[in-house]
Amino acid sequence: MTATDIRPVDPSSHSAAAGHPVSTDEHITLAEEVMAHNYHPLPVVIAEGHGAWVTDVEGRRYLDALAGYSALNFGHGHPDLVAAAQAQLTRVTLTSRAFHNDQLGPFCRDLAALAGMELVLPMNTGAEAVETAIKVARKWGYDIKGVPDGQANIIVADGNFHGRTTTIVSFSTDEVARAGFGPFTPGFTVVPYGDTQALRAAVTPNTVAVLIEPVQGEAGVIVPPAEYLPAVRDLCTEQNVLFIADEIQSGLGRTGTTFACELENVVPDMYILGKALGGGIVPVSAVVSSRAILGVIKPGNHGSTFGGNPLAAAVGFAVVKLLAAGEYQERAKVLGEQLRLRLEALIGHGVIAVRTRGLWAGVDINPELMTGREMCERLLAKGVLAKDTHGSTVRLAPPIAIEAEDLGWMVDQFAAVLAEASRTVKPA
């Protein structure tokens, strides 16, 4: 779907009754007044989304180059996913896990098959799934490996982003996410990302798991050395340690394969999934593993009122069906190569470095030109929505459903911003 295929939003359709704002400024002013400031969003107010495009409250259209941090891999309003949600909405949306529901079994069966695993533990958000994986790893360590009670340790990587709960920020190295939220949860060791020797040196008899992102998304799409993931797999097998792959952002088609681990022919002991699993419609996450590992969880050990609810399961089932054919994975691979070639051509022209995995890129902007935030603000003015991270890096992760010509247009706008900035920078 291209920009010309989208009908403009009629501002009058958003009633001003009962104080409902209409304009961009009114919406932003209201949000600033009544919401905690835990985000710093760009000044755009989205009202509708179709495919890779969104429209704001005043009818302006933008290409979504962030896709909800990969939660919208299939685009806004994918007809199969919307149909699955609408059909379930008329039946039953929540039962709690006190009872069975007719959507959960088929969803978990097919998700386990997609991952080549045996069992699924469904949750809601990505952070909940990470917390679940931590609990499972510790329980496995005590019940199966024989680690002394209270001594389990999990190795994580510098630059990680697994969520923002109190336990997760305990092993974050991002001071913005961490500062002011102690005391911190013990039981974690941080090592440099991509450093196999440091990882090996950190393993002790009480190590129960290594928890890493196959590609570090929030850090700026950081790709480890090619030998790293296989070495992690070998070390974990050798030392009887669980290899937990956080594929919340990298999984489900984004990297040109179903899971980023596949790019290195690696199979972890446990996948952590989320974001795209809910199709951009409802929050759905899951831990997927073997019966020997997830089997340590017994009734009462863990749970969630909404985890595995019928609506989430129906949407998740439809997502798995979309991925089963492999079309989206191949699409991300082909379009990702187009994106890589176009972005790498900008190195030396306002771009310092480019890192890609499938349809996912981290682009380091020359800080002498502008910050990553300034780049995103200038892209916004040209009709592209993107997100910065860590100062001068911009992340690009458009929906996998994006058309090739729209992807090309997106990079054209990126290049135009760089060219305009270069013309205005005075020589030293």
List, by residue number, the catalytic residues: 161, 246, 275
**What is the maximal distance between C-alpha atoms in the chain?**
69
Give the type of residue at 232.
Answer: V
Work out the angle at residue 216's Cα, subtended by the Cα atoms of residues 218 and 136, and round it to the nearest 5 degrees.
100
Cα(65)–Cα(85) distance, integer angstroms: 24
Cβ atoms of residues 400 and 332 within 8 Å: yes
Contacts of 262 (CB under 8 A, 6+ apart): none
Cα(43)–Cα(293) distance, integer angstroms: 46
Work out the angle at residue 101's Cα, subtended by the Cα atoms of residues 99 and 105, and round it to the nearest 5 degrees.
115
Give the type of residue at 56.
Answer: D
Exposure of 367 by Cβ count < 10 A (0-12 exposed, 13-18 middle, 19+ buried)? Answer: exposed
- C-alpha dihedral sign at 381, 382, 386, 388: negative
**Structure-block tokens of residue 88:** 């379930």
CB count in 10 Å sphere of residue 226: 10
Angular region, 50: left φ>0, alpha ψ -120 to 50, beta rest = beta
Cα(245)–Cα(129) distance, integer angstroms: 12
Contacts of 235 (CB under 8 A, 6+ apart): 196, 199, 200, 203, 210, 241
Cβ atoms of residues 399 and 252 within 8 Å: no
Q: Spell out the long-range contacts of 86-95 with Cβ–Cβ below 8 A and sequence spacing 24 or more.
A: 87/314, 88/310, 88/311, 88/314, 88/315, 89/311, 91/310, 92/310, 93/309, 93/310, 93/311, 94/305, 94/306, 94/309, 94/310, 94/311, 95/309, 95/310
Contacts of 139 (CB under 8 A, 6+ apart): 296, 297, 301
**Structure-block tokens of residue 328:** 């989206």
Cβ atoms of residues 174 and 162 within 8 Å: no
